[in-house]
Structure 1
Amino acid sequence: MKYNNRQQTLLAQEFVDVLSIERNLGEKTLYAYKNDVDNMIRWIDLRHYDDLNDETVMMYFLYLQNEIELSCRSIRRKYVSIRQYCDFLNKTLEMNEVFFKFSSRKFQIPRNLPKTLSKAEIQSLIASVTAEFQNVSSDYHRRLCIRNMCIIELLFCLGLRIGEIAALDIEDYNREECSVLIHGKGKKERMLFISSPVVCQKLNHWLITRLEMNPQDSAMFVNKSGGRLSIFSIENIFYKYRELSKINPHSTPHFLRHSFATQLLNNGANIRDVQELMGHNSIVTTQIYTEVSLNRKREVLMKYNGRNFMNTV
């Protein structure tokens, strides 16, 4: 098709609007789609190409790969965004243009195993908050400790993302049932149950303490000014107790989420159940945790490996 900058700019915005309506994607995901398409449009414009076709698209991806040397993961994401945009162009403009003559297999993403914390490290992390709470010297620090204790507990107990922690409101928590409504990625919601009575007690204690911090809205976790705690503040809370507990110095809050999933599988949970608890769209995402679930592998091999039942020395 003939390239026209004004037309493409308008179509790119329409593409994002359609995605927002049809797929109910989150704001950050929509921004990523728009950014990927806009960058290609700018690249075509700067090079004064007359056509948007399979050759132009191929040249753009060679540029991403060879000139600016983007990672496989970044190129693969742009492939998905731009391919969907091109499909949108064909549908909207009633064309049958072939924009891609290569597949995403060209950009295979190396699979990295999820990084976890050991049971001892998690216990040490939780204990570091408890120890600080027992030695606080003011009401202000007492309130912060109770809040931080609940955040660390929920990161592991429910395997939450830091964004999900930040998005929690007090009405999302049902005290009688010890259940929490989680607002996940892509505006998807899931209901989780706090199975640990200790964690429930800590959260109930926090709800009373929270009122002392003059909350400005319904946010579950608030800062010293009473406003909603940001994801960056939650990260910093984790890093503080990471240092105090002297666990893996490279660990992040997401290590607790990985540990949650891995321990569920180690303890015999069904992978479909883990998928639902984690809020994964696809079981393929969840399956990577089976690679680090050594206890489960050991149990299966000890129980079913045919060599175990042979008497041959």
Structure 2
Amino acid sequence: MTLTEAKRNFLRHCGLVVNLSQNTLRAYGSDLDDAHRYLGQRRKLEDIRAEHLRGYIEHMRLQRHLKETTVKRRLASLKLLFVWAVRERIIGDDPFHTLSERIRLPKRLPRALDRSDRECLRKALVLRSTTDDFNTIRSKTAIHLLLDTGIRVGELVTICLRDISLANESLLVQGKGDRQRLVYLLQKPLYRKVEKYLACRRSVQTSSDRLLVSARGKPVSAVNIRKELRGLCKTAGIVRHVTPHMLRHTCATQWLEAGMDIRYVQKLLGHQSISTTEIYTHVSDQGLREALFKATGGFRR
């Protein structure tokens, strides 16, 4: 079986049997495509050896200067393909078993907005202009949801109208691994923004049942949200590059710093393992400075 055939069958297995999300399937597909370009799409799966994998690692590191996180993710996707191929008895040996390469990732804390940038962004979300059209209202609503609920941007764009309940002040979110969870619209500014958006959405002609649509009635993509977030941050005067996932980090950090039980944070974020949530238990530099300032009696030089 060639790499191309193996990739196609593996992704079909992941979609139909394992029931992985479309986002995960696209990520696997992209990683495997990259490996195939180096290894050769017509190469037989059983002909791949550990030395080929080492060559691929060196190619990513030395020639393309990819980050270790990228190298590790692409190898992980390729490794899953070989695990599947051995289990399906397509090949006898897994070349990863004799691969001694270790990829050490730097320990990095999640990047969250500091207090100043957070306040600037919130002000930009609250300010309303007479020129705010439907797309602007929808864009601000989307960013407000990211900032106050901690949902992933991929989850946000797949929310449907039936998933939202204003009466219960909640959203039903379809997370990773098809796991469902509820997030809540308890903050009044967020609730009102969602309520206003839904009222405006009724006037939009669309056949889509997605919560977020454009003025033309087309579903909004994650790429659109990222672009709109960059635009709003520019308007707010935020210099640093801000991503939707940073808003998730910001939300989680705020919850924990406010004293919320980590098990509740885990449930709201949709983490399967609490060890994933524990990376947010760091104290932000701003919070550390404020705590130290109070502890020393508020003296400054």
- Letter of the aligned partner of 2:107 in structure 1? R
Partner of 1:80: 76
Looking at structure 2, the residues matched to 48 and 231 of structure 1 have their Cα atoms a distance apart, in angstroms, of 35
For the pair 1:260 / 2:251, whether they are aligned, the reply is yes
CA contact 2:230–2:241 (8 Å) conserved in 1: no
Kindly report structure 1 stretches of 4+ aligned residues shifted beyond 6 Å.
46-50, 294-301
Displacement of 1:261? 0.3
Matching residue's letter, 2:99: F
CA–CA distance in structure 2, aligned partners of residues 10 and 47 of structure 1: 9
Match of 2:195 among 195, 198, 204: 204
Give distance in 2, aligned partners of 1:10 and 1:16. 10
Q: Give the 3 Å change call, closer, same or farther, for CA 297–103 of structure 1 in structure 2.
A: farther
CA distance in 2, matches of 1:163, 1:249: 22
Equivalence for 1:146: 137
* 1-structure distance, mates of 2:223, 2:43: 41
Q: Measure the CA separation in 2 of the matches of 1:165 and 1:250.
A: 20
Question: Over residues 194-236 of structure 1, what are the superposed CA-to-partner deviations in whole Å (9 max), with x where a residue is unaligned?
Answer: 1213322221222112112323322222212122222233223
Instruction: Find out whether 1:224 has 2:215 as its counterpart.
Output: yes
2:106 corresponding residue in structure 1: 110
Residue identity matched to 2:7: A
Change (3 A) 1:11 1:191: same
2:61 to 59, 65, 70: 65
Structure 2 contact 109–282 (Cα < 8 Å) conserved = yes
The TM-score with structure 1 as length reference comes to 0.79
The aligned amino acid for 2:257 is N
Question: Greater CA deviation, 39-48 or 93-102?
Answer: 39-48
CA distance in 1, matches of 2:275, 2:61: 26
For structure 1, the 5+ residue unaligned runs are 1-5, 302-313
The question of 1:17 aligning with 2:12 is answered yes
What is the CA distance between 1:275 and its match in structure 2? 1.8
Q: Report if the CA contact (8 A) 2:153-2:244 is conserved.
A: yes
Cα deviation digits, residues 41-77 of structure 1 (max 9, x gap): 5544489899323333333333333343332112211
Q: Is the 8 A contact 1:126 1:152 kept in 2?
A: no
Is 121-130 or 188-197 further displaced after alignment?
121-130
User: What fraction of aligned residue pairs are identical, expressed as a percent?
Assistant: 28
Report what 1:136 is aligned to. 130
Alignment of 1:27-46 (within 5 A): 27-45=22-40
Structure 1 pair 126/60, CA: closer, same or farther in 2 (3 Å)? closer
Q: Deviations over 1:254-308 (max 9, x none)?
A: 322111000111011222221221122333332221123568889999xxxxxxx
Q: Structure 2 matches for 1:230-245, cutoff 5 A?
A: 230-245=221-236
Establish whether residue 166 from structure 1 lines up as the match of residue 160 from structure 2. no
Change in 2 beyond 3 A, CA 1:103/1:26:
farther
Measured in 2, the distance between the counterparts of 1:41 and 1:147 equals: 40
| SS of structure 2 residue aligned to 1:11 | helix
Q: CA 1:108–1:166 in 2, change beyond 3 Å: closer, same or farther?
A: same
Name whichever of 29-38 and 9-18 sits farther off.
29-38
1:173 CA drift (Å): 0.6
TM-score (norm: length of structure 2): 0.82
- Evaluate the alpha carbon distance shift between residue 222 and residue 37 of structure 1 in structure 2; reply closer, same or farther with a 3 A threshold: closer
Among 2, 21, 24, which residue is 1:26 paired with? 21
Residues 164 and 88 of structure 1, relative CA distance in 2, 3 Å threshold: closer
More helix by share: 1
Name stretches of at least 5 consecutive residues in structure 2 with no aligned partner.
293-301
How many residues of Structure 1 are paired with residues of Structure 2 in the alignment? 291
Rounded to whole Å, the distance in 2 between the matches of 1:61 and 1:235 is 30
